């Protein structure tokens, strides 16, 4: 599986980090050294690794992170953010606004150009376009035939002029497209084993002749660092508008995916994920980062949370929260339920955006405290439980006496209750806006 080694190692490092209650600068340093090694081993460009690690380290040793409730989680989040950024931040779309638009595919021999032409054509048909394939690879005897076979499979015509000059073919194909109402022209060019001047010159001439909207460099993800070097020289010589990373279904280590954008400045626009003609995807940096960092254990935690909350009860709770009927009795019950799920901090740390909101509502329920909370709530009258604003100074004294606790503890509980109520109301509203049914807060990404 792609990225398996890298993924496993990073998850190991972060699991260790998350397991620590307190994290100091030294822990961050150790972890970052391990991250560095893991990335280098995955064949990520060494300069990219250096910059990446130093950016993460700088952010991670910040006061807010280390003093937060869940420093381990925060650091994973930083790595996730930086990794997403490294791969381009967000999706890079193809620019196909002209008619006909011209896409030129270039790359080394066997990288997957011709296959990608077919995959892309198929995809464009689904988007309502009318592609034309152009056979500019006149050197390999079977190349034209291969394109024709693929064209037939996806029902797209192939423009070919046999062994004529590829520059003339490209030029003539534009005329053909105009007169035959085809609105995207995709040129399949020849590959070479290595980059050479002859190949580059031919590509430059084709570029000058048809002024492509997109020059897509097709690179084989399995070749790791070499893929990045290839991208760099193609970009320098020809100017590349985007990269197609193929064979991501193989057991690539990740080096190419993580380095290409940083080294060349060219975004990955598409990825090939198999030999079949629909095995092509838009490249989403954030999804790739989630995949590399592994969201499995987080998802299982969420599942666990959902199992533990009895569904019916959760629904009833949600209704109460919405209608402001959430009482101290419910609060007690929830505390007990939440405790049965395991370490609360871990759980809360998984919920995006919650760490900030949780400041001042430190969820440090231990066994003793639960017992105290129970005693305090039981010493209240039913009216007081439903409406804590009734609880004035003398009532607090009575409750403290009745429960064998102190007034400060009663105060603290009331404050915690108020804060939780606010927080839960926010969640309920968030869930509502998104049209969700469950009481769990919406999960966007897993940190």
Ligand X SMILES: Nc1nc2c(ncn2[C@@H]2O[C@H](COP(=O)(O)OP(=O)(O)OP(=O)(O)O)[C@@H](O)[C@H]2O)c(=O)[nH]1
Q: Give the residues lining the site for Mg ion (CB under 5 A).
A: 113-114
Instruction: Find the binder of ligand X among 7, 68, 101, 115 (CB under 6 A).
Output: 115
- Residues between 417 and 446 with contacts to ligand X, criterion CB under 6 A: none
Q: In the complex with Mg ion, which residue's Cβ is closer, 110 or 250?
A: 110
Regarding 416 and contact with ligand X (CB under 6 A), the answer is no
Instruction: Find the binder of ligand X among 70, 92, 111, 235 (CB under 6 A).
Output: 111
In the complex, the smallest distance separating the C-beta of residue 271 from ligand X, rounded to whole angstroms, is: 7
Closest CA to 99 of 6, 190, 211, 182: 182
How far apart (Å, rounded) are the C-alpha atoms in residues 342 and 334? 13
Regarding 246 and contact with ligand X (CB under 6 A), the answer is yes
> Of ligand X, Mg ion, none, which one does residue 71 interact with (CB within 5 to 8 Å by kind)?
none
In the complex, the smallest distance separating the C-beta of residue 116 from ligand X, rounded to whole angstroms, is: 6
Q: Report the b/e string of 290-302 with b at 16+ CB within 10 A.
A: bbbbbbeebeebb
Regarding 62 and contact with ligand X (CB under 6 A), the answer is no
Regarding 252 and contact with ligand X (CB under 6 A), the answer is no
Beta bridge partners of 218: 244
In the complex, the smallest distance separating the C-beta of residue 93 from Mg ion, rounded to whole angstroms, is: 25
Instruction: Find the binder of ligand X among 107, 121, 131, 441 (CB under 6 A).
Output: 107
> Of Mg ion, ligand X, none, which one does residue 274 interact with (CB within 5 to 8 Å by kind)?
ligand X
Closest CA to 221 of 4, 3, 11, 40: 3
Write the CB contacts of 215 (distance below 8 Å, at least 6 apart in sequence): 104, 106, 207, 238, 239, 240, 241, 242
- Phi/psi for 247 (5° steps) reads 65, 30
> Of Mg ion, ligand X, none, which one does residue 337 interact with (CB within 5 to 8 Å by kind)?
none
The pattern of x and - marking residues 179 through 198 that bind ligand X according to CB under 6 A reads ------------x-------
How far apart (Å, rounded) are the C-alpha atoms in residues 116 and 187? 11
How far apart (Å, rounded) are the C-alpha atoms in residues 354 and 359? 9
How far apart (Å, rounded) are the C-alpha atoms in residues 217 and 223? 14
In the complex, the smallest distance separating the C-beta of residue 244 from ligand X, rounded to whole angstroms, is: 9
Q: In the complex with ligand X, which residue's Cβ is closer, 87 or 328?
A: 87
> Of ligand X, Mg ion, none, which one does residue 166 interact with (CB within 5 to 8 Å by kind)?
none
Q: In the complex with ligand X, which residue's Cβ is closer, 118 or 321?
A: 118
Regarding 112 and contact with ligand X (CB under 6 A), the answer is yes
Instruction: Find the binder of ligand X among 39, 136, 143, 263 (CB under 6 A).
Output: 143
Cα angle value 373/376/381 (rounded, 5°)? 135
Instruction: Find the binder of ligand X among 5, 157, 274, 363 (CB under 6 A).
Output: 274
Q: In the complex with ligand X, which residue's Cβ is closer, 199 or 354?
A: 199
Regarding 256 and contact with ligand X (CB under 6 A), the answer is no
Q: How far is CA 365 from CA 335, 346, 372, 388, 419, in A?
A: 8, 13, 10, 21, 15
Per CB under 6 A, residues contacting ligand X are: 107, 109-115, 137, 140, 143, 191, 218, 246-247, 249-250, 272-275, 279
């Amino acid at each position: 599986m792609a990225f398996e080694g890298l993924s496993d190692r990073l998850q190991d490092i972060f699991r260790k980090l998350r397991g620590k209650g307190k994290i100091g600068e030294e822990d961050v340093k150790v972890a970052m050294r391990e991250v560095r090694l893991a990335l280098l081993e995955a064949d990520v460009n060494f300069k990219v690794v250096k910059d990446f690690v130093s950016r993460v380290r700088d952010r991670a040793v910040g006061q807010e992170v280390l003093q937060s409730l869940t420093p381990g989680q925060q650091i994973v989040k930083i790595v996730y953010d930086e990794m997403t950024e490294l791969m381009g931040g967000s999706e890079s779309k193809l620019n196909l606004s002209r008619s006909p638009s011209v896409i030129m595919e270039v790359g080394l021999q066997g990288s997957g150009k011709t296959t990608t032409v077919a995959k892309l054509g198929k995809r464009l048909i689904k988007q309502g376009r009318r592609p034309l394939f152009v056979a500019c690879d006149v050197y390999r005897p079977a190349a034209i035939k291969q394109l024709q076979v693929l064209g037939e499979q996806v029902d797209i015509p192939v423009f070919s002029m046999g062994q004529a000059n590829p520059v003339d073919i490209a030029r003539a194909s534009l005329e053909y497209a105009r007169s035959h109402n085809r609105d995207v022209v995709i040129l399949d060019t020849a590959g070479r084993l290595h980059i050479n001047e002859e190949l580059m010159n031919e590509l430059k001439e084709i570029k000058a002749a048809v002024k492509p909207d997109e020059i897509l460099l097709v690179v084989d993800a399995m070749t790791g660092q070499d893929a990045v070097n290839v991208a760099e020289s193609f970009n320098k010589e020809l100017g590349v508008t985007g990269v197609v990373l193929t064979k991501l279904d193989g057991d690539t280590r990740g080096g190419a995916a993580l380095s290409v954008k940083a080294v060349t400045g060219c975004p990955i626009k598409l990825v090939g994920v198999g030999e079949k003609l629909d095995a092509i995807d838009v490249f989403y940096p954030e999804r790739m980062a989630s995949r590399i960092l592994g969201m499995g254990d987080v998802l299982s935690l969420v599942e666990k949370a959902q199992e533990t909350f009895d569904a019916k009860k959760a629904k009833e709770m949600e209704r109460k929260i919405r209608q402001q009927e959430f009482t101290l009795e419910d609060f007690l019950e929830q505390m007990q339920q939440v405790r049965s799920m395991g370490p609360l901090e871990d759980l809360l740390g998984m919920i995006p955006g919650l760490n900030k909101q949780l400041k001042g509502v430190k969820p440090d329920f231990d066994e003793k405290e639960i017992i105290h909370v129970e005693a305090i709530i039981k010493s209240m009258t039913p009216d007081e439980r439903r409406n804590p604003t009734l609880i004035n100074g003398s009532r607090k004294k009575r409750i403290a006496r009745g429960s064998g606790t102190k007034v400060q503890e009663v105060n603290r509980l009331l404050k915690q209750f108020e804060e939780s109520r606010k927080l839960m109301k926010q969640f309920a509203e968030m869930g509502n806006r998104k049209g969700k049914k469950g009481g769990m807060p919406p999960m966007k990404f897993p940190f």
